[in-house]
Every structure is written in C-alpha cells, then in structure tokens.
Amino acid sequence: MGERPDRAVTDPRPGSERRTLHQLAGVEPDPTRPAIVAERLTESFRLYHERPTGIKERLYRLRRSSFTDFHALEDVSFAVEHGESVAVIGHNGSGKSTLLKLLARILPPDQGTVMTNGRVASLLELGAGFHGDLTGRENIYLNGAILGLSRAAIDERFDEIVDFAGVRHLLDTAVRTYSSGLYVRLGFAIAVTVDPDILLVDEVLAVGDVEFQERSFERMRSFRDAGKTFMLVSHDLEGVRELCDRAIVLDRGRVAFDGRVNEGVALYRQRIAAAATPAAPRTSDVRRVRIEEVSLLGADNAPVAEVPPSAGVTLRVKLHALEPVEACSVGFTVSRADGTHLYEAHTTWQGLGIGPLNTGDEATVDVRFVANLLAGRYAVAVSVTDTTGRETWAVQAEAARFGVQPAAGGAGLVNLAARASVSEGPARRLGDAPGPGPIPLPRLQRRRNRG
Amino acid sequence: MSGRPPPDVDLPAGPTRAARAVTSKLLELWRARELLVQLVRKELKVRYRNSALGFLWSMLTPVLMTAVFSVVFTLIVRIPVDDFPAFFISGYLLWQFFQNSCQGAIHSIVGNGDLVRKVYFPREVLPLSHVFAQLIHLLLALLVLSPYLLYTRGVGVLLYLPVTLAAIALLTLFASGMAMWFAGVNVIFRDLQELFVVIFQVWFYATPVIYPLALVSSMLEGGRFAWIETLLVINPTTWFVELFRVGLFGPVTATGDAARPLADGPPGLPDLATLGGAAAWAVAALVFGYVVFLRRARTFAKEV
C-alpha cells in the first residue's frame, strides 16, 4: 500500500506513544493494547409491528407508529487480550450475535465504544455473497474479496481452498448446482484462508457432516495454538470447553458471567436447568455466599475418591455467608470427564432453603445421592443461588471428582441395574460372566485420542 | 479494566477529527479496491451469462435505440439536425450509462441483504460496482460505434478524444454520487424504486438528448415558456451531455434563420463554462451522495 512501516503519525494527545500508520489503520496489531475493548455497549432494535417503509404508511402512521424498543445488548463491557480465546454463550436472543456484529463493525453501537486492534475477520455466515450463477472458481475470488483477501493471497492459497472443500471436479460449474453441504464447505474453506489477528465466529461450526465438523474444529484449534485472538459464539458447550479459555455468558443482553470457561459452562448449564423459573436480568456479579469446602464422603462418612457401582455418596458443602442471606439454595451437577451433563439437583427442588444466615455465619449442607453410574471419572460442580435460581451467588466448577469402579454386566453411561431372566423357554447358566467394562462411546474415544 | 481509550475518543472536535475520519474512510475504500474489481467482474459476467448474444447486447441496445429514434425524429417528427443518428448517439450513450448506473445501484443494498447483514466491508462498493460495470459497457459501446462517428463527423472525433474522456470522467463522478444517494435512500424509503422509472423518464426528456439545447433557446426565447430553458440549464445532466457532444459530435448553434434554424460544426473544444459547470456538478453530487450514503450506511444491517 505504499506506507513505509517506519513512518509514524503523532497522536495529538499528550503522553501517548507514537503508533505506525499501519497500526492506526488497523492493519497491524499494537501489542501494548488489548485486542478488543468493548465499553458500555448498548444496542437496541426498534421492532415495528408493521414496518412503515412507504409514503402511504408514513402518512397514515404519522402519529401512531407502533413499535417496541428491544434491547439486544445493555451495558456490556469487557476487554480481550491478544491470544485469548473467548466463548460467548447464552440462550437464543441473549444478544450473542448482536455482540459479534458490533465487534465486526457490521452494526454501530447505540451507546458505548468498540475498539479492535489488528485485522479482524468475521465468520458470521458461510458463503455469504456467493452468486449462484458464477462458477466455483469465480466465487472463490469474489468471496475472498468480500472477506478482504487480495487476489494474490487467493492465488497463493487457491489449491488449498479447493482441496479443503473437495470441489476440484466442480470448479467450473455454477455453484447453484452445488449441494448445500458442499456450498458451506467451500464457504468455510475460503473463510479460514483469511489470516486475521482477531477472528469472530458465529455458530458456523455446527454445519456440515461429522467429518467436516472435525476438520473445521481442527482448524480452529490450530488458529488458537498460533496465538491468535478469537471469539466464538456457540451452543456446542463441549466444543467451547475444548477451544476456549474464557467464557462470557450473556443473559438478555447483559453479561451474566465473565471468567474461566469451565465455570461459565457450568453456570450456563444450571441456567438451562433452572429455566423453569425465568431468569431476570442480573444487575451485577453478586457474591453473597462463599463456598468454603466441598467434600465427597462414602458410606462411613470418610472422604472417598472412588466408589463401587451404585454406592451411596454424600456431598458435603460448607457455606460462609458474606452478607445477611434470607435463604439460599445449593445445587450440584455431575458430569462425565468429557463434560456430558449427567445429573443436576438443587435443594429448592426438594423444598429446602438454607438460611437465614447472618454475615459470617456458616452452614453445612449434606446432599446424599446414589452413584448409579458405570466405571469412569466424574466431576461435581456446586453452586449457590437465591431460592428462585435467578441470581448465582457462588459457583465452583470442579468442586470434587470421583471415580466409579467397574461393574459386571452392563456397558454405557448409567447403571440401570439390568437383571435378565427367561420367563418362557429353556435357559442355562453360563460360567462366571467375564465382566466387561463399559465400552466408551466412539466419540468419547476419539476426543481422548485427540486430547 | 486497564485499557486505554480508543484512539478517536478525546480528540479535539473540529477539522482534525473530521480530516482523520475522511482519511480513514478513503483508506478503507482504497483497501477494498479488490472487492470493487471482483464485484464489477461479477456484474459483467452475470448479466449476460444465460443469453445467446451475451455481451453484444450492451452494444446492440444503443444501436437499436438509435435506429428507432432516427426513424421517429427524422422521418415522422423532424428535429432539424443534420445527421440525427450521430447526434443522438453522442448524447444517448452518456445518458444510458447514467440511467443504468443508478438503476443497478438503487437495488444494490436492498438486494444484497445477506451480505450487508453478515459481512463488514465498505458498503459504497456495492453501488459503485454498478457505476463501473456500466462505465465498461459505455467504453465498449463507444469503441464499436466510433467508426460510424469517424465516418460522419471526421477525424475531429479522434483529435478531441480527451474532451470526450473528460466528459465521461466527470459524469462517472456525478453518477457515483447519485448512485450512492439512490442506494442509500432506497433502504429507508422503498417507494423510491417505484418512483425511479417516472423520475428517469422525466429526467430523460428534460435533458437535451433527442433535441439540441440550441433549438430550445431559439424556439422559446422571450416567450411564455422561456422558463423551460432555465430548467434545462439547471438540470445537471445537460452539462455532461453538452460537454460530451462537443467532443464527439460538434457544437450545435442557432442561426436565427427560420428555414435552417441550426448549424453544427465539427468536434471541437468546449467553452470553459460548460467544463466548469460539469465539474462543479460532479463534485457537488459526489460529496452530497457520499455523505448521505455514509450517514445511512451505519444502520444498513438493521434495515435491509
């Protein structure tokens, strides 16, 4: 582009260091600043009940245009450092996609500011801008240009794109004849060729067949390992746990949680479970209770790390009130090592609240359950919420772990305690059952191999 | 959070900030030039992809139009210009470029809703791609028709080629401004695309394409309808057509002789007033159209 990298532009503010023209233009990241800074972002949409777009409607509705303002985002602030991988999770309509659009500059914020530092690429839809009448080859160049790639850059990676998408035999065919899967693959192959400093991805990894999903997942992983910054909107909570370090949980346009991905995912799962009582927007991170200690006790009330199948287990949670609390609820979830959500319960679901507690008071809650699980490793997460489940006051993502010893006669995930008998017809007793352990699901095994 | 404020906060308001905003906008447009090239290629390819004559249509249309108008305005209703076909071509090519640019551009944002909602790029490349695609059509049509013009109007056509090109360049600026205006306003005011046909029909007859401006002056001067001439002079497209015609056809002047009211000369240089007027309109339309478009463009993703 003709600028010399050594040419600097003086910032008029006193005391700020000089930045190169490339950095000012957002072409090169400035390592001294965070990659993304969002400050007090607010975005609202005006939902017209019948959108007036013509003269007649305008005149007719001059006085009584009917609309409601819908706040997609309210007062959202965060900063993302270079190399961080951030997942944005939340219910549909919680503002995830709007947030990404603000960061990608597709929408301007109504209030607040967004600053990005480095080249930004957004992957909000695959194959956006493909033209059905153009051939695959022509669309690669057109779509590449839409994503900001130069012709030379596409020339250089052309073969890579074609092979990744597997469309070599269809290169000179109009893309309207492509299958929808092929269409998306080509879109993804072009999109990942963009080599940005900051990548924004919206739910696009959920498309395509299993094999393609694995490959795109791999691609994202290598992007992360290359130290690039990315933000990912996804409903695939397991994928998110593998790919990201940090999670931002959005709830009705507000940041409900911002922190380690495991905690964020655990919190979001609890919110899904508690969806029966609709969550009100949280005003801030309230921490009224601290989880002092969590332990797992066996039958003899001694701490255990491994239990026999179908053994009774007690989860003991010690709480410490930081503020006066009228009543609170302790919840726990049990999940498999790969994150599959197995069980969840809250004391309020059994009509039990803990409290009232004064500042400094302690309480110990025992939750007894039966580990009807097959052999494997399991994790327990504990949270403390108000009795309606709207506010989370404390959460501990991996509060305890335990293993279950192999049981004879079953395979899979849970112990349904099957007993076989022949009610009609002959039967014979075989020798001692060989006692097969649980067979891991193929997907679980693949994940373990990869990890 | 320890992040410093974004670079464009806390700057003194006024010229510095405005200049920086303009610079960054233009820098961004410059970086999107590859996209503009690809979109122009798309326009050119897609338009005639499934038609048998393909690209030839862009040259055939002005030829057919010239044939029709020549029959009507020389044999049936006489417009007293020698060599009407050449006269008509030297105005119609430019008009066609302008009208087709705006017609393509007016749908360019609304019709690309997918793209606008999902990808960030400088939105102005969408209307501009139509202008540049039409510019290529114009240049090709001019190339095809130039032997005929050379034959009827003499080598002056070649000699004063810079005048023709200057007229095209200025109209490109003007058309870019208008195309952006139409594209941007149509997003919030969809009636515009319905009004478009009427607007351009009126605009076409208000521009001296099928008749010379000199004829209007000589016929209406001092009469009740003298204001019509004023109207034609105010019309910006008049200036571009006049400029284009001087270089390609030659100046048409009134003689004051009732039997033969008009005289035309070979292609020549335009007077400075015509050149200046066209340039002023070009810059004004570009700035106005671009500013309106940019103000609207911020919320396109919400509105399409």
Tokens 């030297």 label which residue?
Answer: B90
Q: For the residues A44-66, what does the mean pLDDT come to? A: 64
Mark yes or no for CB contact B190/A45 under 8 Å: no
CA distances from A63 to A51, A343, B72 (A): 14, 55, 51
Neighbours of A71 (CB within 10 A): 17
Residues A129 and A30 in one domain: no
Residue A322, judged by CB atoms within 10 A of its CB (0-12, 13-18, 19+), counts as middle
**Is A113's CB within 8 Å of B38's CB?**
no
* Token code pair at residue A408: 């004879």
pLDDT tens digits for A164-219? Answer: 888 899 899 888 888 888 888 888 888 878 778 888 888 766 666 777 778 888 88
3-state secondary structure of B118: helix
- The answer to whether B137 and B75 are in contact (CB under 8 A) is no
Which residues in chain B show pLDDT less than 50? 1-12
B165 vs A93, higher pLDDT: B165
Residue B260 CB neighbours (<10 A): 10
Whether A114 and A57 share a structural domain: yes
A162: domain CATH number is: 3.40.50.300
Share of chain A above pLDDT 70, in %: 79
A224 occurs within a structural domain: yes
Dihedral pair phi/psi, residue A379, rounded to 5°? -120, 150
- Which of A115, A124, A134 is closest, CB to CB, to B45? A134
Torsion of CA A297, A298, A301, A304, to 10 degrees: -60
- Type of residue numbered A356: P
Q: What is the pLDDT of residue A10?
A: 37
| Cα maximum dimension of chain A | 94
Give the contacts of B303 (CB within 8 A, at least 6 positions apart).
B187, B188
Examine the fold and report which residue of A387, A404, A421 is the final residue of a domain before the chain moves on.
A404
CA of B128 vs chain A CAs: smallest distance (Å): 14
The answer to whether residues B218 and B263 touch, using CB atoms and an 8 Å cutoff, is no
pLDDT digits (tens, 9 = 90+) for A381-425: 888 888 887 778 888 877 888 888 877 667 777 778 787 888 888
Rounded average pLDDT over A429-436: 56
Question: Where do the domains of chain B lie?
Answer: 31-303
Tokens found for residue A294: 């969590």
Q: Does the ipTM surpass 0.85? A: no
CA distance B230 to B219: 13
> What pLDDT band is residue A435 in, cutting at 50, 70 and 90?
very low
Residues A430, A433, A435: CA angle, nearest 5 degrees: 165
Is A64 inside a domain boundary? yes
A149 and A215 belong to one structural domain: yes
Task: Tell me which chain B residues have a C-beta less than 8 angstroms from the C-beta of A54.
Answer: 189-191
Q: Do B45 and A138 touch (CB under 8 A)?
A: yes
Strand ranges, E, within chain B: 252-254, 262-264
Cβ–Cβ of A106/B120 closer than 8 Å?
yes
Is residue A444 included in any domain, yes or no?
no
Distances (CA, A) of B196 to A77, B135, B175: 45, 20, 15
Question: How far apart are alpha carbons A123 and A2 in whole angstroms?
Answer: 29
Which domain-ending residue is among A90, A119, A148? Answer: A119
pLDDT band at A305 (very low <50, low <70, confident <90, very high): confident
Per-residue model confidence (pLDDT) at position A444: 47
Flag whether A12 is in a domain. Answer: no
- Asked whether residue A304 falls in the same domain as residue A244, the answer is no
Map tokens 């103000």 to a residue.
Answer: B295
Which of A54, A131, A151 has the CB atom closest to B34's CB atom? A151
CA distance A220 to A47: 36
**CB within 8 Å: A12 and B11:** yes
List phi, psi (to 5°) of B176: -60, -45
Q: Look-up: residue for tokens 């503002």? A: A95
Is the Cβ of B15 closer than 8 Å to some Cβ of chain A?
Answer: no
User: Least CB-CB distance to A13: which of B10, B30, B46?
Assistant: B10
Domain identity same for A113 and A128 = no
What residue in B sits closest to A103 (Cα-Cα)? Answer: B120
A109 in a domain, yes or no? yes
Report CB contact under 8 Å: B1, A77: yes
Identify the domain boundary among A251, A266, A281.
A266
Q: How many CB atoms lie within 10 A of CB A56?
A: 9
Residue of A nearest to B16 (CA): A12
pLDDT for residue A451? 43
Among the listed residues A263, A259, A222, the one whose alpha carbon sits nearest the alpha carbon of residue A243: A222
Strands A306-307, A392-404: pairing is: parallel
Contact A146 B10 (CB under 8 A): no
* Nearest chain A residue to B300, by CA: A107
Nearest residue in chain A measured CA to CA from B46: A133
Return the residue matching tokens 């464009």: B8
Provide the 3-class DSSP secondary structure of residue A389: coil
Cα Rg of chain B, angstroms: 22
The nearest CA of chain B is from the CA of A29 a distance in Å of 13
Residues of B in contact with A11 (CB under 8 A): 7
Confidence of residue A61 (pLDDT cuts 50, 70, 90): low
Smallest Cα distance from A129 to chain B, Å: 5
In which order are the strands placed within the sheet that holds A312-321? A289-297, A312-321, A362-370
B46 closest CB neighbour out of A128, A131, A141 = A131
- The reply to whether residue B189 touches residue A53, judged by beta carbons under 8 angstroms, is yes
Interface contact B189-A24, CB threshold 8 A? no
A135/A243 same-domain check: yes
Most B CBs within 10 Å, among A13, A18, A151, to test the B interface: A13
Q: Give the mean pLDDT of A52-58.
A: 63
H or E stretch covering A204: none
What is the β-pairing status of strands A198-202 and A229-233? parallel
Minimum mean pLDDT range among A40-49, A53-62, A133-142, A230-239: A53-62
Amino acid at B196: F
Domain count, chain A: 3
Flag if B7 and A138 touch (Cβ within 8 Å). Answer: no
In this structure, is residue A6 part of a structural domain?
no
Q: Which residues make Cβ contacts (< 8 Å) with residue B248, sequence separation at least 6?
A: B90, B149, B153, B157, B160, B164, B267
Query: Do B119 and A128 lie within an 8 Å CB cutoff?
Result: yes
Chain A partners within 8 Å of B30 (Cβ): 1
Q: Mean pLDDT score of chain A, rounded to an integer?
A: 79
Contact: B114, A128; criterion CB under 8 Å: yes
End-to-end CA distance of chain A: 42
State whether A131 and A223 are in the same domain.
Answer: yes
Q: Which residues of A touch B3 (CB under 8 A)?
A: 33-34, 37, 79, 115
In A128-287, where do the E strands start and end? 198-202, 229-233, 246-251, 254-260
* Chain A neighbors of B1, CB-CB under 8 A: 37, 77-79
Residues in Cβ contact with A354 at an 8 Å cutoff, skipping those fewer than 6 apart: A319, A327, A328, A329, A330, A347, A363, A365
**Does position A434 have pLDDT exceeding 70, yes or no?**
no
> Best mutation site among B48, B115, B119 for testing chain A: the one with the most A CBs within 10 Å?
B119
A131 CB neighbours in chain B (<8 A) are 42, 46
Separation between Cα atoms, residue A382 and residue B276, nearest integer Å: 78
Q: Identify the bridge partners of residue A442 per DSSP, sorted by sequence position.
A: none
- Shared domain for A158 and A253, answered yes or no, is yes
Q: A241 and A186, same structural domain?
A: yes
Closest CA to A275 of A388, A384, A392: A388
| pLDDT over 80 at A68, yes or no | no
B-chain residues within 8 Å CB-CB of A24? Answer: 7
What gap in Å lies between CA B79 and CA A311, rounded to an integer? 105
Domain enclosing residue A84, as ranges: 19-119
Same domain, A140 and A98: no
Closest chain B residue by Cα to residue A146: B35
Band (pLDDT 50/70/90 cuts) for residue A23 is: low
The reply to whether A255 and A295 lie within a common domain is: no
Residues A79 and A139 in one domain: no
Q: What is residue A421's predicted lDDT score, i.e. its pLDDT?
A: 83
What pTM was estimated for this model as a whole? Answer: 0.70
Interface with chain A: mutation pick from B42, B189, B193, highest number of A CBs within 10 Å: B42
Whether B14 has its CB under 8 Å from any CB of chain A: the answer is no
Mutate one of B2, B26, B35 to test the A interface: name it (highest A CB count within 10 A): B35
Task: Check if the beta carbon of residue B81 is closer than 8 Å to that of residue B173.
Answer: no
Q: What percent of chain A has pLDDT over 90?
A: 12
